[in-house]
A and B are shown apart, each in its own frame.
Chain A
Amino acid sequence: MKGVGFALLVLMALVAVAAPWLAPNPPDRRFPDQLFAPPTPVHVVRPDGTLGGPYIHPGVLVSRLERRFEPDQSRIVEVRWFENGRLLSVADANAPLLLMGADGFGRDIFSRLLFGARLSLTLAVVSTIGAMVIGLLIGGAGGYIGGAIDELLSRVSDFVLVLPAIYVVLALRAVMPLVMPERTVFVLMTVILAVVGWPSIARGVRAIVASELQREYAQAARAVGAGHTRTLLFHLLPATSGFLGVQATLLLPAFILSEATMSFVGLGFPDQTPSWGTMLRDAANVAVLGDVPWALAPAAAIFVVVLAVNLVVQGPGSAAGVPVRPAG
């Protein structure tokens, strides 16, 4: 199961990297006649019963009021492979290939999901690295120096650890200006998530460094003349790598979820930016949800990532002592 989890995570990362090539449509392209269009079925059996390359019947809006679409059986639009720099595309611009249907603006949900993976996953990864750097610095310093400074740093991290993270994130973000460009939001969210996420890492790093410091190899390094910085960076901190790996896999889904929650309540990325959170926000309108279940696709994507991480850390044969905590 552990392997399945890893495979899913790698697959997600690859999908995010290859998004522009995998997505059939640009993420912000609007198809005005396809508002809330259902997923387009792809056929391989021709009407005359022979097998052929994949094709679609273009979806035609039958009733705008009921949002009813019917495939135009008389027309056949071929799906082309490896053209226009995309894996899949269709020749007819008025008959879009909507693998997961369209949202309220007539945008392709599948393509937005792929581009959203880029933003949501990158944000989570960068924030995780940020939290690890802060945690390593503070935990390492506390464990190495000890004394009053250690006490102070430990108290601060214990305090932040006690608070429910999402409220701290919410409060920090809410007191900033509400409307900001995408790039600023990205930087701001990264900083906020790193600031909220470091204590769990600092606590573990502090304990490891403090105990490793007593070991003979650390004493030996000092004895042969290694400076404090060198001892800490090259001799002691490498001992924390196993712990860091586990913590990173725990922080990653928490950060993906934080982005989703923030964007969902309107404090994250701007509405037109495709991220999993903004897409959930689009889907959240109840009237929409009832008829348009495919708008929940980003929820499925988040679920798959969290599940993959849980398979990696919870699966049989995983390291004992991994803390069990629900995401979010």
Chain B
Amino acid sequence: MARYLARRLFFALLLVFVVSSSALLLTRLAPGDLTSQLGITATREEIARTRERFGLDRSMPAQWAIWVRHTAQLDFGESFLYNRPVRNLIAHASASTAALAAVALVLATLLGIPLGIFTGSRRDGIATAFVRGASVLCLSVPPLLTSLVFVWIAARTGWFPVGGMTSVGAADLSWAAWMSDLALHLPLPALALALPIAATIERLQSQSMSETVHEPFVLAALARGLSHRDLVLRHAWRVSLRPVLAVYGIVIGALLSGSFAVEYVTSWPGLGRLMFEALRARDIYLVSGCAAAGALFLALGSLISDLLLAAADPRLREGDPAR
């Protein structure tokens, strides 16, 4: 197990390294650089000074080598746009995105698993058909559209704030007031992100459950006189969980992709928006920093998903849980 973990961590680091390095080199290769942000009034000397400050006067390999050395010491360079260390910016944005993604994931799980157990363990009826229909509908509403419609509803009804993570001036609030302010801003973006994922989980759980209830061991348990409830929740569910847990590795990617649209539409100050701004401004170290943070999310997500799988299925605990 320890060897397996070590290998997985190594590959996680490799992913982060490759993704952030490519982001750096790609930004460097792009036409124009961050000095265009100085505006047309900038003098030649100012431009040269800024280039030097951000290492743009060096050759690409040289700049990359210096960046790698600094990154190894967790110094991600400085952002030109915000004039602050990239590390602080990324820490904030990652926390915002993580909060949004975590709430969305919990919502999706709480909706998807019970409904999937319900539709998978019953014969077709009106209720299961309704849930299945709702599920296919939710599968078809990408977060970009849902968040737009939610913003419209918020603007129309005034029940929820239209955008942002906190209200203006929230920094001065007490901790409890800040939390309740956040709690008001969170539901719509989180729901927009969660709906298609909830539908994915529901469909998988339903499929897996309906296959499991036809296994011989379920019939045997039925013969021993177990109630329907015990049978489904205690015995069949545990076995049916494997394909559902396996999809969580993919879901992390879907969460990151979806959160870009949601963050953009609802002005959520997360990683996706930050990276978009950085890309447009050619803010080179901020771009690679955001890419590193995103890759880290991805790697950790798939690692956790694999560990959960191993915990749920004893057969996988020996050897390599990935295969």
Name the A residues within 8 Å of B18 (CB-CB).
159
Q: In the complex the two chains form, is A302's CB within 8 Å of B148's CB?
A: no
Most buried by B among A172, A261, A293: A261
Most buried by A among B27, B142, B143: B142
Q: How far is the CB of A321 from chain B (nearest CB, A)?
A: 10
Contacts A170-B279, A286-B163, A328-B144: A296 and B149 contacting too (C-beta < 8 A)?
A: yes
Cβ of B218 under 8 Å from chain A: no
Question: Lowest 9 A-B CB distances belong to which pairs?
Answer: A326-B196, A175-B30, A328-B142, A290-B155, A174-B279, A307-B140, A164-B257, A306-B140, A164-B256
Q: In the complex the two chains form, is B257's CB within 8 Å of A302's CB?
A: no
1/0 per residue, CB under 8 A from B, across A289-327: the answer is 110010010010011001101110011000000001111
A257 to B207, CA, bound (A): 27
Q: Which residue of B is nearest A293, CB measured?
A: B152
Q: In the complex the two chains form, is A299's CB within 8 Å of B196's CB?
A: no
Q: In the complex the two chains form, is A310's CB within 8 Å of B144's CB?
A: no
Q: In the complex the two chains form, is A327's CB within 8 Å of B196's CB?
A: yes
17 A-B residue pairings within 8 Å (CB atoms)? A164-B260, A165-B257, A167-B275, A170-B276, A174-B279, A280-B148, A289-B151, A289-B155, A290-B155, A290-B156, A293-B152, A299-B145, A299-B148, A306-B141, A314-B139, A327-B139, A327-B196
How many contacting A-B pairs (Cβ < 8 A)? 135
Q: In the complex the two chains form, is A325's CB within 8 Å of B254's CB?
A: yes
- Of the candidates B23, B253, B257, the one whose C-beta lies within 8 Å of that of A171 is B23
1/0 per residue, CB under 8 A from A, across B297-308: the answer is 010001000000
- Of the candidates A164, A257, A309, A324, the one whose C-beta lies within 8 Å of that of B247 is A324
Identify which of residues 221-272 in chain B touch chain A, using a CB-to-CB cut-off of 8 Å: 247, 250, 253-254, 256-258, 260-261, 264-265, 272
Name the B residues within 8 Å of A170 (CB-CB).
260, 275-276, 279
- Of the candidates B15, B31, B264, the one whose C-beta lies within 8 Å of that of A265 is B264
A311 to B148, CA, bound (A): 23
Name the A residues within 8 Å of B15 (CB-CB).
162
Using A296-B149, A307-B137 as known contacts, list a sample of 13 further A-B pairs with CB atoms less than 8 Å apart, ordered by residue number in A.
Answer: A162-B253, A164-B257, A174-B276, A175-B31, A257-B144, A302-B142, A302-B145, A310-B140, A324-B247, A325-B250, A325-B254, A326-B199, A327-B142
A309 to B136, CA, bound (A): 10
Q: In the complex the two chains form, is B162's CB within 8 Å of A286's CB?
A: yes
A264 to B261, CA, bound (A): 9
Q: Chain B's interface: helix, strand, loop or mixed, by majority?
A: helix
Q: In the complex the two chains form, is A176's CB within 8 Å of B30's CB?
A: yes
Cβ of A125 under 8 Å from chain B: no
Q: In the complex the two chains form, is A310's CB within 8 Å of B136's CB?
A: yes
Q: Which residue of B is nearest A277, CB measured?
A: B144
Q: How far is the CB of B302 from chain A (nearest CB, A)?
A: 8
Name the B residues within 8 Å of A220 (CB-CB).
none
Cβ of B26 under 8 Å from chain A: yes
Q: How far is the CB of B253 from chain A (nearest CB, A)?
A: 5
A237 to B31, CA, bound (A): 40
Contacts A167-B257, A328-B257: A303 and B145 contacting too (C-beta < 8 A)?
A: yes
Q: Which residue of A is nearest B298, CB measured?
A: A162
Cβ of A283 under 8 Å from chain B: yes
Q: How far is the CB of A83 from chain B (nearest CB, A)?
A: 36
Q: In the complex the two chains form, is B142's CB within 8 Å of A166's CB?
A: no
Q: How far is the CB of A24 from chain B (nearest CB, A)?
A: 26
A328 to B151, CA, bound (A): 19
Name the B residues within 8 Å of A223 (CB-CB).
none
